Structure 1
Amino acid sequence: MSTLLEVSGVSKTFDGFKAINNLSFRIGRRELRAVIGPNGAGKTTFMDIVTGKTRPDSGTVLYGDKGQSLLAMSESRIAQAGIGRKFQRPTVFEDQTVRENLTMALDGSRGPFAVLWSRATREAAHRVAELAGEIGLDGTLDRKAGELSHGQKQWLEIGMLLAQNPKLLLVDEPAAGMTPAEREHTTDILVEAAKTRAVVVVEHDMEFVRRLNCKVTVLHEGSVLAEGSIDHVTADEKVIEVYLGR
């Protein structure tokens, strides 16, 4: 599998606390990867570094065919290069309909003027309908986003990110606060999305990670503690000790 993202020897210290400690791992081009670990393991800092929010003290982060350094790029340039991030709390335009939210997010209409003056072309309308189908919101296109359930808002935000056609999607704890049925549907959305791009899911919920059925990277004290299938990592003595608290 060809590499899309390569993190090598990355370290970051905040006020004497080493949040990331010589972190190295790779993500493939069309791969679903789960990143787990206890609080303070470095999961959020890792995402902050990849998206340009935080600069590491040392190491390299290379992305894409030509191995571009993400550390030389601004947050907006990284987003334009095809890296999308979904935070824990859904951020959607609550007063706009599901259709309007997805239309605003469509690739190519990022500028405010493009959004204001664009006429909903047939192509855009078709893509919006397609996205709504992918995230399971095709029956809610004309409902205001504020009326959706928590789980539906999470799906809408994932749809808005997919509308921008990212090559790498970072998703932070998507299962938090969801019903079992919503979590099942979220699994389906992420598994499907990873068929055409890389999807990295940062999660605490081990059952949710098990359902994703993908390679798992366990972080502890800012570096990789174990890597492999969920069965492999949950049977690892070091993981049991630090993560499962036994």
Structure 2
Amino acid sequence: MNPLLEVSGVSVSFDGFKAINNLSFRIGRTELRAIIGPNGAGKTTFMDVVTGKTTPDTGRITWDGKRRSIFARSEARIAREGIGRKFQKPTVFEEQSVQDNLIMAVKADHRPLAVLLYRPTPEHMARVAQLADEIGLTDALHRMAGELSHGQKQWLEIGMLLAQEPRLLLVDEPAAGMTPEEREQTTAILVAAAQTRAVVVVEHDMEFVRRLNCKVTVLHEGSVLAEGSLDHVTADQTVIDVYLGR
């Protein structure tokens, strides 16, 4: 089966510095993948390229079996392509309830007039209830998002992205600032999400990566340094020298 996303020979330079250097790898259609590496390894630039924020100098990206340009498009257009991205800092509507945040994410028509006149349908409310259950916030549906803990805000934002039915979900350092209990719940959310879509997690926390129990890609100086299980890559002497030994 063709991969959902294939990056082939992609390079990106900023003022002579190669943030991505001939990067090539592929992500399956239903796969959980962790990407690790030292600061400056190209992890964020990789996500920028995939979401169209940054245009590569060379190489190609094959999306859904076709060489399809997703560069320089609006976030809405990228979302319609089936790509969702969660940044490290959660972005939710803090003065709205958890339920309202999820309702805003599931409604189909996002044009200004439609937003003003919108009334949730029974189907949308059922989807909101399902999402709240998936992210562990059923008991918090009527709380203001601003009252949630850091971890709960992270879950809410993941739920808002899942509401858009992405085929690829990019998640940046979800475990940062979480309690051990919140990390366990976050692991469960991401593992469950990867049953029906591709989920790529950029993370520094090796304990959290081990919990994900998935294939790991190690980036260094914009290229793939090693790939395989966490035990495999952490036993690689080069990985130890450039990343784990620091």
What amino acid is aligned across from residue 138 of structure 1 in structure 2?
T
What amino acid is aligned across from residue 243 of structure 1 in structure 2?
Y
1:48 matched to 2:54? The reply is no
56-65 or 70-79, larger mean C-alpha shift: 70-79
Aligned twin of 1:160:
160
What amino acid is aligned across from residue 137 of structure 1 in structure 2?
L
CA distance in 2, matches of 1:156, 1:90: 8
Aligned twin of 1:3:
3
Aligned twin of 1:235:
235
Matches within 5 A, 1:85-234: 85-106=85-106, 108-234=108-234
What amino acid is aligned across from residue 116 of structure 2 in structure 1?
L
Deviation at 1:74, TM superposition (A): 4.7
Report the count of equivalent residues: 246
Deviations 1:122-181 (A, max 9, x none): 000000000000000000001000000000000000000000000000000000000000
Q: Is the 8 A contact 1:84 1:170 kept in 2?
A: yes
Q: Is the 8 A contact 1:107 1:165 kept in 2?
A: no
Aligned twin of 1:24:
24
Deviation at 1:57, TM superposition (A): 0.7
Ranges in structure 1 where 5+ consecutive residues have no aligned partner: none
CA distance in 1, matches of 2:225, 2:105: 37
RMSD (Å) for aligned C-alpha atoms? 1.3
CA distance in 1, matches of 2:114, 2:65: 29
With normalisation by structure 1, the TM-score equals: 0.97
Helix, strand or coil at the partner of 1:41: coil
Aligned twin of 2:12:
12
What amino acid is aligned across from residue 146 of structure 1 in structure 2?
G
With normalisation by structure 2, the TM-score equals: 0.97
Deviation at 1:75, TM superposition (A): 4.2
What amino acid is aligned across from residue 108 of structure 1 in structure 2?
A
Q: Is the 8 A contact 1:12 1:21 kept in 2?
A: yes
Q: Is the 8 A contact 1:62 1:70 kept in 2?
A: no
Deviations 1:187-209 (A, max 9, x none): 00000000010000000001100
Aligned twin of 1:81:
81
Q: Is the 8 A contact 2:10 2:60 kept in 1?
A: yes
